[in-house]
Amino acid sequence: MNPKEIENKFPYSGIPTFYKLQHTTNLKNVDVALIGIPFDQGTTNRSGTRFGPRAVRIASQNYGIYMHSDEGAYDLEQKKHILHGVTLIDYGDVPILPTSTATNMKMIYDTFKKIIESNVFPVGFGGDHSITFPILEAFDVDFDIVHFDTHLDFTDNVANVKFSHASPIKRASGLKTVDNITQIGIRGFTDRKANYDEATKYNSKIITASDIFKNGIPWTLGEIPETKNIYVTLDIDALDISTVPGTGTPEPGGLNYIQMRQILQNLPKKGNIIGFDVVEVNPLYDAGNMTSQVASRLALDLLGSIYSK
């Protein structure tokens, strides 16, 4: 084996890019760009998600060693290759300034705009949930949103702040490009009735964790409308606290990994996925990097179902 082959074969070796992909901002002939967004100024409780992209990159080495530019990765349970012939890159991090929310929102927008205009599929790794809105703004086409979360994120503002991690879906609901919003995994005492009413007024479809535990995944999938384009935003706290302690507001009563994967793997049947993000990974509260591991796996599961049809 030559040096590069060795580095690609062992998770502990090499400067850790997402899934051991090439780090480049050259978008030519690229299919998918993965971007880190180390932004946590929208956080209303535990800080630290700014180190999320770095932790996910490290965890993703475990999968990177099995991904090959030519044949993709082999999914033993599905008995098929995913990402066969697909070119993915690590685009690096969106430049983030401390304290300047407006500038940062602009830079997230600019970065994704450039990627989208190059016809490259964008995947964002947060960072807190505030990063979703500027990504959504960067799309020109109309699309539905499928939103996984404990919380509705439909708060209009937190003390007049409109771009915190409590408001991305409310902000999204004001975009002309956004049509249906489906919110999955919602639960608990961790929001106000007013925000629920706000979501309901928009006609957002709310599927609570309790609904899923009662009715099952096929029912859940049936609730998600078929459409032309879908953007997926996955707050890692939609999963149960036992699987994701390393997040800003971990909650019990959430989905397990199997349920989440089953939904993700069937989403491409509902419409054309145009991009997604995974947010709220906070390595400062994690154990054995498990939350980052799960985040990096779910992103791969979703990419795999999009790119193995």
**Which DSSP symbol is given to 29?**
T
**Residue 235 labelled as part of a binding site:** yes
Q: Is 49 helix (H, G, I), strand (E, B) or coil?
A: helix
Please identify, using beta-carbon distances, which residue of 136 and 236 lies nearer to a copy of itself: 236
**Residue 240 labelled as part of a binding site:** no
- Give, for 37, the enclosing helix (H) or strand (E): strand 32-37
- H helix intervals, the chain: 3-9, 52-64, 101-117, 132-137, 168-172, 193-202, 209-223, 257-266, 290-306
**Residue 237 labelled as part of a binding site:** yes
Please identify, using beta-carbon distances, which residue of 229 and 253 lies nearer to a copy of itself: 253
Please identify, using beta-carbon distances, which residue of 180 and 249 lies nearer to a copy of itself: 249
Helix-helix angle 52-64:290-306, to 10 degrees: 60
End-to-end alpha carbon distance in the chain: 33
**Closest distance to a copy of itself from the beta carbon of 176 (Å):** 26
Please identify, using beta-carbon distances, which residue of 179 and 217 lies nearer to a copy of itself: 217
**Residue 129 labelled as part of a binding site:** yes
**Closest distance to a copy of itself from the beta carbon of 229 (Å):** 27
**Closest distance to a copy of itself from the beta carbon of 235 (Å):** 15
**Closest distance to a copy of itself from the beta carbon of 300 (Å):** 6
Which residue bears the tokens 């997040």? 247
Please identify, using beta-carbon distances, which residue of 7 and 31 lies nearer to a copy of itself: 7
**Closest distance to a copy of itself from the beta carbon of 110 (Å):** 8
Q: How far apart are CA 37 and CA 22, in angstroms?
A: 18
Binding residues for Mn(2+): 129, 149, 151, 153, 235, 237
Binding site members: 129, 149, 151, 153, 235, 237
